[in-house]
Amino acid sequence: MNSLRVPLSRAGEFDEIVDVRTPLEFEEDHMPGAINAPVLSNEERVIVGTLYAQVSPFEATRVGAAMVARTIAAHLETTFADRPRNWRPLVYCWRGGKRSESMTVWMNMIGWRARQLEGGYKAYRRDVVTQLDTLPAALELIVLAGHTGSGKTRLLHALADAGAQTLDLEALAVHRGSLLGAMPDARQPSQKSFDTAFIGVLRSFDPARAVFVEAESRRIGRITLPESLMTAMRSTRCVEVSAPQPERIDLLMQDYAHLFANPDAFRGQLRKLVPLHGRAVVEQWLTLLERGERRALFEALITKHYDPAYSRSSRKMLGGLAHAIPFTFHPMAQDLRAQAQALLALTSPAGRSGCAAAPAASSEDR
């Protein structure tokens, strides 16, 4: 075995993790805390790949080696110019191949104690997939269920402020989960990047303490939640959160105010509901939008779309909801932390009540 290679289990021994893949590969996902020092640009990697497929592996290697050598020289003069003599970096590429090997060899020639990650990013990704299957089952979850606008996300944040452990899936996915849930001026992460962040949060929890999580469908926007998490959510305790309808409308008007800044996009989203509600109903909603009758629009969406969707989901998937802890929440109030503390008291060992099945809500339920 190459003495410069180390397994993933030793990653914590190093001063810094260096990802030498292209910026696009790094953007899709990378090891936590890694810096990107690509030895090939996005365009150069395409050139080398094309030469490999259309000319010959030899020609691809020759041209690629020249590119890599120039780039490593530039990194040594810039990116790593201030690293101390006793610096110990761990270097990786896609499969632990020539890109990371080249950087590692040059670093060791200089005198740094660099090592190459055996198996590269693919080894790291295999470890993430394994943890996706196992970590959720080790947690004691308490699931927050409830109608759209009941303030489950605000309650989750208030619980965190009150010292509880919380898993904010929508924050990790950068999406509120519903048809209108895309965050303004923010892109969702890649699936792999979400998985990395998700595992990082799970590993930060104390397994001896409960973790509050909001009910979600399997998909949040374009992100797919691991089946192990969905299974854990269906078989644990739950809290059914309710709020007065006027406050629900107030909450939606506040949280979704950005939709009115781009009415064309808003109209397009509403039109996607025609197969479910019919053209006549959706045209009524579009008329409310055109007139600027925001409150009436959200009230119509709650009563005709979101609440019926939640009821359908409840009948199919919330068989144990009758055993849930009922909790009335006022999401627009000033005392959110106090309300969260009241819920913590209800869900403490002294106030516990079982729940046969936690909700796996429809993506239209928030």
Catalytic position from the list 18, 34, 72, 93:
93
93 is catalytic: yes
Give the separation between CA 357 and CA 354, rounded to whole angstroms: 9
Percentages helix, strand, coil for the chain (3-state, rounded to 5) are 55, 10, 35
Instruction: State how far Cα 87 lies from the chain centre.
Output: 33
Q: Over the Cα atoms of the chain, what is R_g?
A: 25
What's the length of the chain? 366
> 53, 126 in Cβ contact below 8 A?
no
Give the separation between CA 102 and CA 48, rounded to whole angstroms: 16
Give the separation between CA 274 and CA 327, rounded to whole angstroms: 34
Dihedral angle, C-alpha 288, 289, 292, 297, nearest 10 °: 60
Lookup: tokens for 259: 């939709």
Give the separation between CA 150 and CA 155, rounded to whole angstroms: 9
Active site residues: 93
